[in-house]
Structure 1
Amino acid sequence: MPSLKMEAIAEGGFSYAEIPYELIERNGLPTYEKKEGESRLLRVSGLTYPLQDVVSDKLYALLEACKKYQGNYLVLETMNCKPGILEEIVEECAMMLVDYGIPIFIENGCQGDDISGYIHSVYSDVSGLKRIADYCNRLCERPMVGICYNIGYGNLLAKNIRSQLHQCREYLCMIHANDNGGMKNDRQMPYTFTKGRGELVTDWYHIIGQLIRMDFQGWMIFDTIGLFGRCPEKLQTQFIRLLRGLVTEWESQYTFAERVLNQPDKKLILFGAGKMLGEYMRVFGEQYPPYFAVDNGSARWNTEILGVPVKNPQEILAVPEEERNVVICCMYYDAIGTQLREMGITYNEFQDRYFV
């Protein structure tokens, strides 16, 4: 967006920026140059444009610009958009889309604004988006149209976002990640809004968990125009770094099973024999069964829970260090982490809120 500096994006740790086409249209796309001695490189991931304003000539200009800036896709925004526009354009321009080979992602949207409120439109539910994508792809005789799901827009309509993502998993090519309080299109950073005693308005943990279960491999774009429309320029890089921290956290959960559990040459030991052990067994127990579990509650020692032997935490030391894979499986991560460090034991954590 105009107020967000591309230098801040790069300095904050990202390699791609999604560009609204109107910046290019106004010759307003800022140049970006690396500072001397820096290895960072900022690329254009793709372009965005309102579907409401697209005609055949405009589509040609969009595809040309995407090609020029080496973008990977074109997102068509559908807020307050009339039905049938994309279908009519593809009927006329199917061959052009195929020739360019640049995929189009149609975004979920709705009708309304922050003052009058928001109501459903033909683009609000993924079932409608799937029908549009199917029709357009048949015209192109190959997959050229997919779905971009905007988390914030789904939240405005109180959608079950996990269910929406699951329903469109075969079409889902992109996530636009932003947060709001369920009333206004704030487009803020994820985890920003809470209700009651700290409960998240947007269930980010289970949304990311759903993407993990689907093995989603598409684009994840932070669409946080509201944040950077208000953020002082001097703080932009710091907020970008916060977003980059979210990437690190989500990637750690995305790779959890392969990175932590898939170690066949080691014995998996879970610290915790309570409710979370049952949750672990339901999600990962069949593929990655634990060698044994340990617990600080002595009443559980020398018993079996869900077929898993439970022992004294000191039994971890009986397994040679190079053979053990210790994972905390209990909500008291800090206390147990301190206990394990004092025992000289390295560990990982099973964060069940992503997977349950």
Structure 2
Amino acid sequence: MMLLGVQYDEPLKLEAIADGGFSFAEIPYEVIEYGALPTYQKKKGDNRILRVAGFTYPLQKVTSDKLYEIFEACRSYQANYIVLETMNCEQGILEKVVEECSMMISDYRIPIFLENGCGGNDGIGYLHNGYSNVTQLKEIADYCNKICDCPVVGICIDIGYANLLAQNIRSQLNQCSEYLCLIHVNDNGGRCNEMQMPYTFTKGRGDLVTDWYHIVGELIRMEFGGWCIFNAKGLFKRVPEVLQTQYIRMLHAIGEEWERQFTFVERILNQPDKKLILFGAGQMLWDYMETFGEKYPPYFAVDNGRNRWGTEVHGVPVKSPDAILEVPEEARNVVICCMYYDAIGTQLRQMGVRYHEFQDQYFV
């Protein structure tokens, strides 16, 4: 399971983060440095606690003294990690600091996550820098961990930065899977660093500029269990304060949807005491069988198309939807396996059948 949070930055309110459903806020350390972190005011009777997930800080400004200062702040605020931002950053800074401070870093054992980055700005476009590719990040992490004699340096991937460089984000995630500890989640159109919420930008006939379905699918395949922090600062610079909580709730809903997909196999398919029935005998059934069919074979499939009744698709017998009712409720596990989720969901509810959905975009 991922650990979800939101990056704080003015004008976003800490109260909006908590009221929107999140338990963690990631804080730019410069906010602490300048004494600008506001006091979080809980509502009367609210038992929730808003915790500090971690701190971010520009790698360009890191010195041994500054790292010590941030470590101490992590202890004071019970923060879990430090993210070092590499936007427009020169190479070699972290290695030098680690060489000077290896004993201190080993003693604190507070994880340091090196973020991918790039060079340039919205006015002139973006170019690769020494932290753009995960191969470079892995080499730096390896070097630092060997010096510290412990695995204290990991990788943070900012999806928005990777998208600006038109990188294959799924491949980047896969290549650094053993080092990957945190995902910074934001969206852009591939040209400017808008830092908006996921699913914001489309092209052509509605295709996503950032392929969120397959990005999440790759994280599922990796069994990613680290931090997922929404850092949509561009969004909250434009949203009226009165709407902040509602947008945070949308981000929380996105996080919950992704978590449901992370648990889909164990939560829905891994029910050996029930008969799996798939509703739909089209392309999505083929996709399901290619992905999960060997380990979680369906008992049978049903379809509204009469011409498919009595046939087999990918070795699965296809029947009328009424066949679902022949299986006792406590013994059946019905999963919609068709793109017409709403219509089929209505049909199943009218039949008195409980169901789940196979969202193939994440897995195929």
Q: TM-score range by the shorter chain?
A: over 0.9
Asked whether 1:283 is paired with 2:291, we answer yes
* Mapped partners of 2:84, 2:302: distance in 1: 52
Q: Over aligned residues, Cα RMSD in angstroms? A: 0.8
| Higher mean C-alpha deviation, range 166-175 or range 257-266 | 257-266
Instruction: State the alpha-carbon separation in 2 of the partners of residues 122 and 85 from structure 1.
Output: 11
The alignment status of 1:176 with 2:191, answered yes or no, reads: no
1:224, CA displacement in angstroms?
0.7
Inter-partner Cα distance in structure 2 for 1:287 and 1:31: 51
Taking the TM superposition and a 5 Å limit, the aligned residue runs for 1:165-314 are: 165-314=173-322
**Is 1:38 the counterpart of 2:38 in the alignment?**
no
Report the secondary structure of 2:237's partner residue.
Answer: helix
Q: Shift of the alpha carbon at 1:287?
A: 1.3
Q: 1:99: how far off?
A: 0.5
How far apart, in 2, do the equivalents of 1:342 and 1:233 lie? 42
Amino acid at match of 1:223: N
2:6 is matched with: none
Q: Distance in 1 between matches of 2:244 and 2:108?
A: 35
Equivalent residue for 2:111? 103
Q: Distance in 2 between matches of 1:15 and 1:65?
A: 19
The amino acid that maps onto 1:97 is I
Deviations 1:138-164 (A, max 9, x none): 001110100000000000000000010
List aligned pairs for 1:61-80, cutoff 5 A: 61-80=69-88
**Cα separation, 2, equivalents of 1:345 and 1:315:** 12
| Local SS of the residue matching 2:198 | coil
2: distance between equivalents of 1:286 and 1:64? 51
Q: In the alignment, which residue of structure 1 is the partner of 2:159?
A: 151
Aligned equivalents of 2:18 and 2:83: distance in 1?
Answer: 22
Give the CA deviation at 1:35.
Answer: 2.1
Distance 2:239 2:320 in 1: 51
Indicate yes or no: 2:329 matched with 1:321: yes
Aligned partners of 1:119, 1:157: CA distance in 2, in Å? Answer: 7
- 3-state SS of the aligned residue for 1:23? helix
Alpha-carbon displacement from aligned partner over 1:280-315 (angstroms, at most 9, x marks no partner): 011111111100011111222112221211111111
Q: 1:353 aligns with which of 320, 339, 361?
A: 361
Rounded Cα–Cα distance in structure 1 between residues aligned with 2:140 and 2:61: 18
Amino acid aligned to 2:162 = G
> Could you say which structure has the greater relative contact order, defined with CA pairs below 8 angstroms and 6 or more residues apart?
2
Quote the Cα distance in structure 1 between the aligned partners of 2:128 and 2:29: 26
Secondary structure of 1:159's aligned partner: coil
Secondary structure at the residue paired with 1:230? coil
Counterpart in the other structure of 1:86? 94
Amino acid in structure 2 at the alignment position of 1:78: T
Q: 1:25 aligns with which of 28, 33, 45?
A: 33
Give me the whole-angstrom Cα distance separating, in 1, the residues matched to 2:314 and 2:43.
57
The Cα shift of 1:33 comes to: 3.1
Q: Secondary structure at the match of 1:13?
A: coil
Indicate the residue corresponding to 2:5 in structure 1. none
The C-alpha deviation readout for 1:202-258, integer Å capped at 9, x for no partner, is 000110111011100000000111111111111111110110110111111111111
Provide the rounded CA distance (Å) in 2 between the counterparts of 1:300 and 1:122.
56
User: 1:340 offset after TM fit, Å?
Assistant: 1.1
Matched, 1:123 2:126: no
SS in 2 for 1:146: strand
**AA partner of residue 39 (structure 2):** T
Which runs of no fewer than 5 residues in structure 2 stay unpaired? 1-8
Mean CA deviation greater in 300-309 or 76-85: 300-309
Bigger shift: 156-165 or 226-235? 226-235
Q: Deviations over 1:109-152 (max 9, x none)?
A: 00000001000011001000000000000001110100000000
Hey, what's the Cα distance between the residues in 2 that align with 1:235 and 1:295? 43
Q: Contact (CA 8 Å) 1:2, 1:23: kept in 2 or not?
A: no
Query: What is the aligned-residue identity percentage?
Result: 70
Q: Distance in 2 between matches of 1:223 and 1:2?
A: 12
Residue 56 of structure 1 pairs with residue 69 of structure 2: no
Residue 244 of structure 1 aligns to a residue whose secondary structure is: helix
Amino acid paired to 2:48: R
Partner AA of 1:243 in structure 2: L
TM-score (norm: length of structure 2): 0.97
Deviation at 1:2, TM superposition (A): 2.3
Contact 1:4–1:236, Cα closer than 8 Å, also in 2: yes
SS at match of 1:58: helix
